[in-house]
Amino acid sequence: MKSYFVIGTDTNVGKTYVASALVKYFAAQGFKTVGMKPVASGCELNEKNELINEDVTALISESNVNADLDLVNPYRFAPAIAPHIAAEQAGITIELGVIKSAYEQLTDLADVVIVEGAGGFCVPLNNTETLADLASQFNIPMILVVGMRLGCINHALLTVEAIQARGLKLAGWVANEIEPNFAMFDENLVSLQQRIAAPCISIVKWNDSAQFQF
């Protein structure tokens, strides 16, 4: 059984791309693999009248395990806003126990579960708990997606410190070139490699595909 929790240095840094690529990677090796997005905002109704967003659709498209949408994505909200605010507007409290139960059911169905977070590591999920608290409950290896742009070094190192402070394992990180004209990509990559003890498991250049080394 292998599971990984994919988080990002921020929103829009390529978490879904990397998480979906990881699902595809493990499925190609013959593992029963499923993706999970505990909380998703910016959802729209599909043909089954279910709320779903493109991140979840991407994860499902690469999974080779059929799982109920309520397990893959327990909390779904229409507004494309912070999860805890979307939940408040919907009159719902995001409960970590509900998410943990869905995850455990997925582990019964699959050999590998790739969990994709929302926003950054410390994004609030309710009035008192954050995504970091959820990661602590799961207690599975983390994979950090670093959006390679100005400011990425600080964001990455702060996130690594937060992961370590909770006693979680950082299995690896991905350097994802999200700005095609980022002039100092190589220099920033070297700086991160010098400062993050965990291995860089993939370097994804603009419009290139992710290749993983575990």
Question: Which of the residues are catalytic?
Answer: 37
Q: How far is CA 133 from CA 4, 35, 112, 168, in A?
A: 15, 20, 21, 11
- How many other C-beta atoms can be found within 10 angstroms of the C-beta atom of residue 197? 7
Q: How far is CA 131 from CA 116, 121, 198, in A?
A: 10, 6, 21
Phi (first) and psi of residue 187, to 5 degrees:
-65, -40
Report the C-alpha gap between 193 and 71 in whole angstroms.
36
Report the amino acid identity of residue 107. T
Q: CB neighbours of 191 closer than 8 A, spacing ≥ 6?
A: 153
